[in-house]
């Protein structure tokens, strides 16, 4: 059986309600949906051998009442009446509903399951949906061709009532934040410390799928970032040297969180927020980590639990960006326990790396404990790397003529990934984040510290997308320039001095041609379009993000997945990408380059355009000089002859 697992962090939207609490409580109903977590397409189960699981975080240190699980599903028509869907909560069966004999007009179904205090006792609420599709009365046809789908729609989730004046911990407050969070910070900004405090908050909230609204002055907020004098001016208690403090709410008063703008709050970043069980904390710091070349799969989520296997079983592993920083995967060492197979029909082991097949191996027919080593491609992979291990059972006679008895297969946590360090910077956008150091240098415009809110969206997107710790970034403004050999992020309008870029915006009209010479773009300097590009100086590389207007760059959506050195983006994300490293060598356009500037002429271009005139003028000058010399020589000879 194949399992696809999706981890869903808790996200709440506030709605007025008061059920299950006293009238003095500041009570509200909260709902956590898949859409609010960024799973805008929901979760899909494609056939009867799949089981989709997702985990919803249960708020800590918070009174909860009336909790219920609501699943809104779209079901494929054409299934017969025996088709059912089983729903499990925390591993226990909670409901089974018929999904067969449904026409297209009634293909949506909603089920609501009450949740008990025992269901909510764990840190996460685990939900699993497992279908059985029946499309034919012949069981052999169902085993081989019967297919259907169940689509758990994005508005599915968990709802419950809570009294916000009962919040006792900072982690409970963070769990209860709504889809849009108001954050107060002084304007204008003061220094790099305040900038990093704001960036840490923006990075955390953006990672949770929440939107941030920045307020100042006397505006009300959920989170306040400032110094003691700022809090005093707002009639809020000072932190007195602390770094974080929760102000509990009451009737008509919402709880608020105060954060120091001068002290570091490393506990605010995942996974440390789970430790915020109190309401106030002193400053917390951290140092750059040391990369491990041996990464146990147990640290990536592999457990001692075996998987049932009828036809196949698989594990999907997402490698943490921070664990793979400045490293590439070298090999995969798998310790497994597998069942015996039919003679001549061994189990097949498939290993995928970022969706590409790396190995297909036949396992011993006797089964039992075994070890397999799988080499991986040591290229500078994308910043986000995924490994998938699949075990497939086969029978040459078919599942009906020779059905396979259900069994189990286990991938042991002692399995590990072997990594190797790299020092060469990446030349593509998708791999650049992997080659950045923990203390990456970020070059900002001069007004960044005075107007920090303008930069929070783009920098929080970079921190989350590239796995960077906001408190470890080296933020630089003014006349600072990249140091030799340093990989960096450049957020200024112009290319850093001494570096070349795949595209320039100071040379007028831009023309982009494919390798066959076909012009795909011929336009002015693209107002309103963002740019993400790799800039070069020798072996040194940097990431350049250029704004399309007067504001700071948009949140960089999509460019970190581009296997090229140039991407054009708008406010919605990536527009198009081009790898000029290969296009420059293969292009046959009129200007002989993938990116050219028809309206721009350098002094060499101007010289080349008038080369015939220059040649003619030079020839004329040489001719005149030659004739002048010959005339003088003739005159001298004539005077000697006369003498």
Give the tens place of pLDDT for each residue, 58-105.
666 666 677 888 888 888 887 777 788 888 888 888 888 888 766 655
Fold of 170-282: Chitobiase; domain 2 (3.30.379)
48, 74, 150 from 103: Cα distances, Å: 19, 11, 14
* Beta bridge partner(s), residue 319: 385
Q: CB burial class (10 A; 0-12, 13-18, 19+) of residue 270? A: exposed
Distance separating alpha carbons of residues 95 and 112, to the nearest angstrom? 10
Alpha helices in 123-169 (DSSP H): 139-144
Mean pLDDT of the chain: 77
Distance separating alpha carbons of residues 563 and 556, to the nearest angstrom? 15
Distance separating alpha carbons of residues 325 and 289, to the nearest angstrom? 10
Distance separating alpha carbons of residues 308 and 51, to the nearest angstrom? 11
Determine the average pLDDT of the residues in 591-612: 64
Higher pLDDT, 216 or 284: 216
Determine the average pLDDT of the residues in 451-467: 85
What pLDDT score was predicted for residue 349?
Answer: 95
Determine the average pLDDT of the residues in 417-428: 83
Reported confidence tier of residue 575, pLDDT bands at 50, 70, 90: low
pLDDT at 467 over 70: yes
CB contact set of 300 (below 8 Å; sequence gap of 6+):
317, 318, 319, 320, 417
Q: Are 170-282 and 294-395+406-420 equal in CATH topology?
A: no
Give percent above pLDDT 90 in the chain: 14
10, 95, 246 from 165: Cα distances, Å: 19, 34, 12
Residues 244 and 265: beta-carbon distance below 8 Å: yes
130-144, 305-319, 557-571 — most confident range: 305-319
Reported confidence tier of residue 585, pLDDT bands at 50, 70, 90: very low
Full DSSP string of 420-489: EE--SPPSSHHHHHHHS-TT-EEE--TTTTTSTHHHHHHHHHHHHHHT--GGG-EEE-TT--PPTT--EE
Give percent above pLDDT 70 in the chain: 74
Reported confidence tier of residue 466, pLDDT bands at 50, 70, 90: confident
What pLDDT score was predicted for residue 371?
Answer: 94
Over residues 318-354, the pLDDT tens digits come to: 887 777 778 888 899 999 999 998 888 899 999 998 8
E-strand ranges in 123-270 read 124-132, 150-152, 157-163, 180-184, 211-215, 223-226, 244-247, 256-260
- Three-state DSSP state, 193: helix
CATH class, domain 28-162, is mainly beta
Distance separating alpha carbons of residues 427 and 541, to the nearest angstrom? 7
What number of other Cβ atoms are within 10 A of residue 496's Cβ?
17
Over residues 91-148, the pLDDT tens digits come to: 888 888 888 766 655 578 888 889 887 887 766 778 888 887 776 665 555 544 446 7
Reported confidence tier of residue 15, pLDDT bands at 50, 70, 90: very low
Residue with tokens 């770094």: 243
Lowest pLDDT segment from 11-25, 30-44, 499-513, 614-628? 11-25
64-75 vs 108-114, strand pairing mode:
antiparallel
Give me the residue spans of the domains in the chain.
28-162, 170-282, 294-395+406-420, 429-596
Higher pLDDT, 534 or 516: 534
What number of other Cβ atoms are within 10 A of residue 366's Cβ?
11
What pLDDT score was predicted for residue 19?
Answer: 37
Residues 310 and 395: beta-carbon distance below 8 Å: no
Residues 146 and 136: beta-carbon distance below 8 Å: yes
Residues 378 and 328: beta-carbon distance below 8 Å: yes
Reported confidence tier of residue 416, pLDDT bands at 50, 70, 90: very high
CATH of 294-395+406-420, one of 2.60.120, 3.30.360, 3.40.1620, 2.20.25: 2.60.120
- Three-state DSSP state, 547: coil
Determine the average pLDDT of the residues in 250-271: 81
């Amino acid at each position: 059986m194949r399992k696809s697992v999706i981890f869903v962090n808790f996200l709440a939207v506030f709605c007025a309600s008061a059920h299950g609490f006293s009238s003095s409580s500041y009570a509200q109903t909260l709902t956590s949906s898949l859409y609010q977590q960024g799973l805008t397409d929901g979760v899909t189960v494609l056939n009867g051998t799949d089981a989709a699981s997702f985990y919803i975080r249960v708020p800590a240190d918070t009174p909860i009442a009336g909790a219920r699980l609501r699943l809104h599903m779209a079901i494929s028509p054409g299934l017969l009446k025996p088709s059912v869907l089983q729903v499990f909560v925390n591993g226990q069966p909670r409901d089974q509903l018929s999904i067969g004999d449904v026409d297209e007009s009634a293909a949506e179904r909603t089920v609501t399951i009450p949740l008990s205090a025992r269901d909510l006792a764990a840190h996460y609420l685990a939900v699993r949906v497992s279908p059985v599709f029946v499309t034919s009365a012949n069981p052999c046809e169902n085993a081989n061709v019967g297919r259907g789908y169940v689509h758990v729609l994005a508005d599915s989730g968990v709802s419950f009532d809570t009294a916000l004046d009962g919040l006792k911990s900072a982690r409970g407050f963070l769990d209860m934040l709504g889809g849009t969070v108001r954050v107060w910070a002084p304007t204008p900004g003061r220094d790099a410390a305040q900038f990093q405090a704001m960036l840490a908050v923006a990075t955390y909230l953006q990672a949770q799928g929440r939107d941030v609204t920045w307020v100042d002055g006397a505006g009300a907020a959920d989170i306040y970032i400032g110094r003691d004098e700022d809090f005093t001016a707002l009639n809020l208690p000072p932190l007195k040297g602390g770094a974080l403090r929760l102000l509990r709410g009451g009737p008509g008063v919402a709880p608020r969180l105060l954060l120091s703008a001068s002290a570091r709050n490393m506990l605010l970043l995942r996974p440390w927020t789970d430790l915020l069980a109190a309401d106030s904390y002193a400053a917390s710091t951290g140092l750059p980590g040391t990369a491990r070349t041996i990464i146990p799969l147990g640290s990536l989520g592999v457990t001692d639990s075996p998987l049932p296997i009828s036809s196949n079983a698989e594990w999907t592993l997402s490698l943490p960006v921070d664990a793979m920083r400045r490293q590439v995967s070298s090999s995969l060492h798998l310790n497994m326990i597998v069942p015996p197979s039919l003679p001549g029909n061994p189990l097949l082991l498939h290993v995928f790396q970022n969706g590409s097949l790396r190995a297909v191996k036949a396992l011993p027919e006797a089964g039992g404990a075994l070890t397999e080593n799988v080499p991986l491609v040591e290229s500078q992979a994308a910043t986000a790397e995924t490994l998938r291990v699949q075990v497939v059972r086969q029978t040459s006679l078919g599942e009906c003529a020779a059905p396979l008895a259900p069994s189990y297969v286990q991938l042991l946590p002692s399995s590990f990934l072997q990594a190797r360090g790299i020092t060469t910077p990446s030349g593509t956008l998708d791999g650049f984040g992997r080659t950045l150091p923990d203390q990456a240098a970020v070059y900002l415009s001069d007004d960044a510290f005075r107007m920090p809110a303008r930069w929070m969206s783009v920098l929080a997107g970079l921190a989350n997308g590239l796995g960077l710790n906001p408190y470890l970034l080296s933020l630089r403004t003014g006349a600072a320039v990249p140091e030799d050999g340093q990989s960096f992020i450049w957020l200024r309008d112009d290319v850093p001095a001494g570096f070349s870029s795949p595209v320039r915006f100071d040379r007028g009209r831009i023309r982009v041609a494919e390798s066959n010479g076909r012009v795909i773009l011929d336009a002015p300097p693209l107002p309103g379009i963002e740019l993400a590009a790799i800039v070069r100086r020798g072996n040194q590389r940097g990431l350049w993000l250029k704004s399309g207007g007067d504001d700071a760059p948009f949140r960089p959506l999509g460019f970190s997945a581009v296997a090229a050195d140039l991407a054009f983006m708008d406010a919605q994300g990536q527009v198009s990408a081009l790898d000029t490293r290969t296009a420059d060598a293969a292009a046959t356009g009129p200007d002989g380059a993938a990116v050219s500037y028809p309206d721009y002429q350098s002094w060499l271009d101007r010289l080349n355009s008038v080369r015939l005139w220059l040649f003619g003028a030079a020839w004329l000058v040489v001719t005149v000089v030659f004739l002048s010399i010959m005339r003088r020589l003739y005159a001298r000879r004539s005077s000697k002859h006369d003498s």
